[in-house]
Amino acid sequence: MLDALEAFVANHRDEMVQTLVELLQIESVQGHPADGQPFGPGPANALAYVLDLAARHGLRTANIDGYAGHAEYGEGDEYVAVLSHLDVVPAGAGWTHPPFAAEIHHERVFARGAIDDKGPALSTLWALIALRELGVRPRRKIRLIFGLNEESGWACVRHYFTKQPLPLGGFTPDAEFPLIYAEKGVATLQLTMRAEEDSMSPRVVRFAGGQRVNMVPDAATVEVDCLSETAAREWEQRWYKEAKQKQIDLDMHVDGTKVWATVRGVSAHGSTPDAGVNALIRLAFLLSLQPVSNATMWRFIAAQDPSGKALGIDMADEVSGSLTVNLGTGALQGGEYVFCCDVRYPVRASVDDVISRCQARVPDRWHVRLIEHLPPLYVPKDSPVVSTLLRVYQEVTGDPGEPLAIGGATYARAIPNVVAFGPRFPHQPDLAHQRDESWSLQDYLRCVVIYARAMAELAHAL
């Protein structure tokens, strides 16, 4: 079968590349809803393109109320699923190549969605087309499900599965190889405290930092009323000295009795807080050294760490490793300090345990609330899904890779008995959501072969 698949890819290479370019040229960023287009025209146009291509190659297709669609091959009521998405995040600025031109340079296609997730979605479609045209008869029906709202809330698949039955299992091509068998639970904790004012001490007038809770904040700003111009100048001198000693990137100016300051950090994904420099924590550290109102609170914030020890929630298990915490956002709002933390907890822990430990550790003045939660994903290594996909990957690539556990959240959580499987190969940089996002054409075509084998094997194993 492997030789036949590789020959199919070689014979259809030009069409595979051309359809990849055409799909990536559709600007499928979520937009304003319209009739039959709950996520706007961009995602709807991408779905229409994919379903038309599938139908032209003899696959059965369906559009489920504009929320998602599918293409399938094989017979029977039970099916194995491959779940991908056709929506993309906004392009952003600073691209070397136009983000929706899908230009090819040095055998790489440059476009938003090249690797997350329109390119991989198309590789699964070509894989299913290959199985049909090669005459492979799967034991179970194989269905490709194309979501349109993965980047903004997963309403697409929630609606889809109110109208369609769940699969026996499957995979999503939306992470990395060899495969992801465990994903930590994701909890957003909000910590609030009423600001206390001391008329004899400098006080914070404005404070804000961070854009999203799942990003390490790269900037935090504060305005402090020092009550006198002399005190403000003294504050400025002390802060510059302390920032230099601690190698903190600080911009500051004085206006009368007030000090304005911005601390710069380095952004990173919230699941890997150690990879960034948290501007909120650094600003809190500088504030904690001064005679300012709510000084105890600033010392508490300055003590926050990626392990969760300061919140009393440091824990680990043998499957997914240690809990991580990212203090993602903070602000002074209506007389209250509001901080939000992105917590990635081990698969064998519970969110209730995380919350109760946190409530027991933080000072009484703090109110702790869970505002968002994704339960962990764990599919045992000896399960048919994991063992089958791992064997296919090893046989096709020759790489004796091992399943991975991560802190990130993939589309696999949308369906039971599904894991993330590719498309990024080991030791390759993660270009998803980055400017100049791109994907190697060689990897795109190699994924067609891997995914075709995986679909056929899963249809037999489940």
Report residue 199's pLDDT band, with 50, 70 and 90 as the boundaries.
Answer: low
Q: Are 126 and 191 members of one domain?
A: no
- 174 & 204 share domain: no
pLDDT at 95: 94
Q: Are residues 364 and 265 in the same domain?
A: yes
Model pTM score: 0.85
Euclidean distance between CA atoms 53 and 19, whole angstroms:
9
Average pLDDT over residues 284-302: 92
State whether 130 and 277 are in the same domain.
Answer: no
Query: Which pairs from 355-360 meet CB under 8 Å and 24+ separation?
Result: 355/187, 355/189, 357/311, 357/312, 357/313, 358/189, 358/311, 358/312, 358/313, 360/312
Residue 323 and residue 394 in one domain: no
Q: What is the pLDDT of residues 370-398, one digit of tens each?
A: 999 999 999 999 999 999 999 999 999 99
Instruction: State residue 198's pLDDT score.
Output: 67
CATH code where residue 20 lies = 3.40.630.10
Q: Which residue has the tokens 């799967």?
A: 138
What residues are labeled active site?
87, 150
Q: Please indicate, yes or no, whether residues 35 and 154 belong to a single structural domain of this protein.
A: yes
Chain centre distance of CA 323: 17
Helix (H) or strand (E) holding 326: strand 324-333
Residues 173 and 234 reside in one and the same domain = no
Tens digits of per-residue pLDDT, 137-179? 999 999 999 999 998 889 999 999 999 999 999 999 999 999 9
Q: What is the mean pLDDT of residues 395-412?
A: 93
pLDDT for 186 beyond 90: yes
| 62 and 86 part of one domain | yes
What is the per-residue pLDDT for 388?
A: 98
Residue type, 206: R
- Residue 293: pLDDT above 90? no
Looking at per-residue pLDDT, the higher value among 197 and 430 belongs to 430
- Residues 194, 315 share a domain: yes
pLDDT, position 432: 87
Reported as a pLDDT band with limits 50, 70 and 90, residue 408 is: confident
Task: Quote the number of domains for the chain.
Answer: 2
Q: Please check whether residues 178 and 197 belong to one and the same domain.
A: no
Q: What is the pLDDT of residues 215-229, one digit of tens each?
A: 899 999 999 999 999
Q: How many CB atoms lie within 10 A of CB 404?
A: 18
State the chain's mean pLDDT as an integer: 94
Residue numbers of the domain that contains 361: 185-374
Determine the pLDDT at residue 105. 97
- Distance (Å) of CA 223 to CA 48, 120, 237, 441: 51, 47, 16, 51
Looking at 328, 359, 374, which one is the last position of a domain?
374
> 356, 374, 392 — which closes off a domain?
374
What is the four-CA torsion angle of 373, 158, 167, 457, rounded to 10 degrees?
A: -70
CATH number, domain containing residue 339: 3.30.70.360
Among 374, 392, 416, residue at a domain's last position: 374
Tell me, yes or no, whether 289 and 401 share the same domain. no
Same-domain status, 41 and 139? yes
